[in-house]
Amino acid sequence: QVQLQESGPGLVKPSESLSLTCTVPGGFISGYCWSWIRQPPGKGLEWIGCIYYSGSTNYNPSLKSRVTMSMDTSKNQFSLKLSSVTAADTAVYYCATESTGRLDYWGQGALVTVSS
Amino acid sequence: EIVLTQSPATLSLSPGERATLSCRASQSVSSYVAWYQQKPGQAPRLLIYDASSRATGTPARFSGSGSGTDFTLTISGLEPEDFAVYYCQQRRDWLRTFGQGTKVEIK
């Protein structure tokens, strides 16, 4: 069982950057791709991307120009930064673990609202 | 990008009835489909992976089938806790995509 916990500001102004952190209390497990998924209110799921323990990343091309993922193994955390946000980026953001393509464990989600 | 189309959008059934949910891929994804259940205010939960393998803790009333482009999630007898939204997801392509979801509601 892997526990995940998202944290970060719940309100971000348009054109600014959204930053979220996912804490993994039990530490990182090699072989997982540490993932971010988002869900606009009342809508479906969108895969944002993931980062491996090695630091290599895969990003959704629709967001690639604005997304940066990073990992801090000393703090058992991985992070998402999304730049130049608009109202369309308002969503619940989930961190999750991906093992051979399946998203096994999820955080509880963090609602981020983009508004001035 | 592989597009997953789920049908129907909403399924209205009574407890005890059988639910059949469909997921169709825009191109072959082999057997690389997972199914998730999401209840209001909760994160999605993995139910089925690789089309037909139940995840740890998934009740036996949930079964998955299919390969190529057509996949089915079957709930053999709906329990009250099964009324939720269900999503399929593919891992055939490195760009992971989800279907738009099927809501199973109480009739």
Residue A31's pLDDT is 83
8 Å CB contact of A44 and B100? yes
Using the Cβ of B43 and the Cβ atoms of chain A, whether some distance falls under 8 Å is answered with: yes
> First vs last Cα of chain B: how many Å apart?
35
Average pLDDT over residues B5-11: 97
B78 burial class (0-12, 13-18, 19+ CB within 10 angstroms)? buried
Residue A36's pLDDT is 98
8 Å CB contact of A104 and B46? yes
Half-sphere exposure at residue A45, Cβ-oriented, CA atoms within 13 angstroms: 32
* pLDDT tens digit sequence for A1-30: 889 999 999 999 999 999 999 999 888 888
Residue B18's pLDDT is 97
The contacts found for A56-60 with CB under 8 angstroms, 24 or more apart, are: A58/A33, A58/B94, A58/B95, A60/B95
**Residue B4 clears pLDDT 90, i.e. is over it:** yes
8 Å CB contact of B96 and A46? no
What pairs with residue B19 in β-bridges?
A: B75
In the sheet that holds B62-67, the strands lie side by side as: B4-7, B19-25, B70-75, B62-67
Q: Tokens 């940066």, residue? A: A68
8 Å CB contact of B49 and A102? yes
Q: How many cross-chain Cβ pairs, A to B, lie less than 8 Å apart?
A: 54
Whole-number Å distance between alpha carbons of B49 and B88: 10
> Which residues does B56 contact at the CB level (< 8 Å), separation at least 6?
none
* pLDDT tens digit sequence for A47-60: 999 999 889 999 99
Choose the closest CB to B97 out of A47, A96, A106: A47
* pLDDT tens digit sequence for A82-108: 999 999 999 999 999 998 889 999 999
Please report the residues numbered 53 through 112 in chain A whose beta carbons come closer than 8 angstroms to any beta carbon of chain B: 58, 60-61, 94, 96, 98, 100-104, 106-109
Residue B83's pLDDT is 97
List CB contacts (< 8 A) between B5 and chain A: none
Residue B67's pLDDT is 97
Whole-number Å distance between alpha carbons of B79 and A40: 28
A103-116 per-residue burial string, b: 16 or more CB within 10 A, e: under 16: bbbbbebbebebee
* pLDDT tens digit sequence for B23-69: 999 999 999 999 999 999 999 999 999 999 999 999 999 999 999 99
* pLDDT tens digit sequence for A68-87: 999 998 999 999 999 999 99
B103 burial class (0-12, 13-18, 19+ CB within 10 angstroms)? middle
Residue A12 φ then ψ, to 5°? -130, 140
Average pLDDT over residues A55-66: 95
Residue B27's pLDDT is 97
Q: Bigger pLDDT: B93 or B10? A: B10
Give yes or no for a contact between A95 and A106, defined as CB atoms under 8 angstroms apart: yes
